Amino acid sequence: ETGVTQTPRHLVMGMTNKKSLKCEQHLGHNAMYWYKQSAKKPLELMFVYSLEERVENNSVPSRFSPECPNSSHLFLHLHTLQPEDSALYLCASSQVVRDEQYFGPGTRLTVT
């Protein structure tokens, strides 16, 4: 595997479910990011991790819970989501926080 990978690629979940999105980067980077991409809206930055510490949390509802166990892996734990949370969730990484970012293919999430 090369670059940034995300699993699953597609996820359908009910409002009462608990699921997790996984991101893995194979680039030796030290910073990782979660973005939300909704139709007709700019990409929204959700969380930033640098050296496994969260350095940014853009007022994201608590039903989204990130976890960064090491510099190569990033998770987004989901619980009691709302239909408006349906979107493409993109993971990205960069060498350091102030560097260009490389994106994963995204997870298409549908909340029913």
Partner 1 sequence: AQTVTQSQPEMSVQEAETVTLSCTYDTSENNYYLFWYKQPPSRQMILVIRQEAYKQQNATENRFSVNFQKAAKSFSLKISDSQLGDTAMYFCAFMSPRNYGGSQGNLIFGKGTKLSVKP
Which residues of this chain interact with partner 1, rule CB under 8 A? 3, 31, 40-43, 45, 48, 55-56, 90, 94, 96-106
* Smaller CB separation from partner 1, 81 or 94: 94
- Indicate the residue among 17 and 52 with the shorter CB distance to partner 1: 52
Give the residue among 72, 67, 98, 88 at the shortest CA–CA distance from 2: 72
CB of 64 to partner 1, least distance (A): 17
Task: Say how many C-beta atoms besides its own lie within 10 A of residue 102's C-beta.
Answer: 16
The minimum distance between CB 56 and partner 1, in angstroms, equals 7
Is 16 or 41 the residue whose CB approaches partner 1 more closely?
41
Three-class DSSP category at 41? coil
Q: Alpha-carbon Rg of the chain, whole angstroms?
A: 13
Question: Of 65 and 101, which has the nearer Cβ to partner 1?
Answer: 101
Least Cβ distance, residue 18 to partner 1 (angstroms): 27
CA distance 66 to 68: 7
Query: Given its phi and psi angles, is residue 105 left (phi above 0), alpha (psi -120 to 50 degrees) or beta?
Result: alpha
- Least CB distance from residue 40 to partner 1, whole Å? 7
